[in-house]
Structure 1
Amino acid sequence: MNIEQIRDFCLSKKGTSEDFPFDEDTLVFKVLGKMFALISLKKWESGEAAINLKADPEYSEELRASHNSIRPGFHMSKKHWNTLYLHEGELQPQLILDLINHSYDMVVKGMPKKLRDQLKQ
């Protein structure tokens, strides 16, 4: 998958926006203001494509055990975030999309009901 495909997929999710809250390098996707995906543009351009995604802690452990290209989140909470190293070529596009969906769903699940209801409208 290329970065444009990932960007388009993330932005297709309801209530999603993108911005650069930390610096001009880190592209962040948020659902109603809460982060669910981060991409370093410099690393992507240098051939080290990776994306940070939120995940259920138990599921994170399973993913890390079964995929060498999924590791604890770089510069993130190691319990709740994974970094998917896409440049290593191990991960299938459908798995990447599924994990983006999982991250989005985890963030939405943790929101107050009032915010979750906004996504249903």
Structure 2
Amino acid sequence: MSITAAALRAAALSMPGTYEDYPFGPETAVFKVKAPSSGGSERPGKVFALGNLESSPMSISLKCDPELAPALRSANPGITGGYHLNKRHWNTVDTAQVASEMVLEMLEDSYDLVVAGLPKKQQEALEWSAYVAKS
């Protein structure tokens, strides 16, 4: 069964430091992660997922390990190179063709990739190591 927009949104927003934004207009939900700021310096969040959650079929673009992305695409016709994104680092997932569990795993992997690229201080502020140990 394919994942619902509500389940995808809830899963994304359950990850530490995640918020939903609409910088491209009301139809494209963008999920970003940002550590709580300290010292008054405001940094923008880093994108880990984006897509039109109201479209049918629903698709979402997720960051992916560049070594793994081609294998995922060749193994599943519902996974293609990131739409309007760097296809080396992003996949677009047609949620009608990919099992819910796999979509959720890819969402979490995308979040982990983005957080792993943040400075150590921000990772600690997000309590990311505790989150990874829990999942």
1:57 aligns to 2:59 (yes or no): no
CA distance in 1, matches of 2:53, 2:124: 33
CA distance in 2, matches of 1:30, 1:84: 18
The structure where helix makes up a greater share of residues is 1
Choose between structure 1 and 2 for higher RCO, CA contacts under 8 A separated by at least 6 residues. 2
Taking structure 2 as the reference length, the TM-score comes to: 0.82
15, 18, 31: which is aligned to 2:17? 15
CA distance in 1, matches of 2:113, 2:81: 17
2:103 corresponds to: 96
Find the residue that maps to 1:57 and give its secondary structure. Answer: coil
CA distance in 1, matches of 2:93, 2:114: 18
Give the number of the structure whose alpha-carbon radius of gyration is greater.
2
Taking structure 1 as the reference length, the TM-score comes to: 0.91
Q: Deviation of residue 65 (structure 1)?
A: 1.1
1:73 aligns to 2:82 (yes or no): yes
CA distance in 2, matches of 1:74, 1:48: 15
Find the residue that maps to 1:29 and give its secondary structure. Answer: strand
The structure where strand makes up a greater share of residues is 1
45, 49, 66: which is aligned to 1:37? 49
Runs of 4+ in 1 over 6 A off after TM superposition: none
User: Identity over the aligned pairs, expressed in percent?
Assistant: 41
* Letter aligned with residue 10 of structure 2: D
Find the residue that maps to 2:91 and give its secondary structure. Answer: strand
1:85 corresponds to: 94
Q: Residues 8-43 of structure 1, C-alpha deviation per residue, up to 9 Å, x if partnerless? A: 01000011000101212110001101100101145x
1:108 corresponds to: 115
CA distance in 2, matches of 1:114, 1:21: 27
**RMSD of the TM alignment (CA)?**
1.3
Find the residue that maps to 2:67 and give its secondary structure. Answer: helix
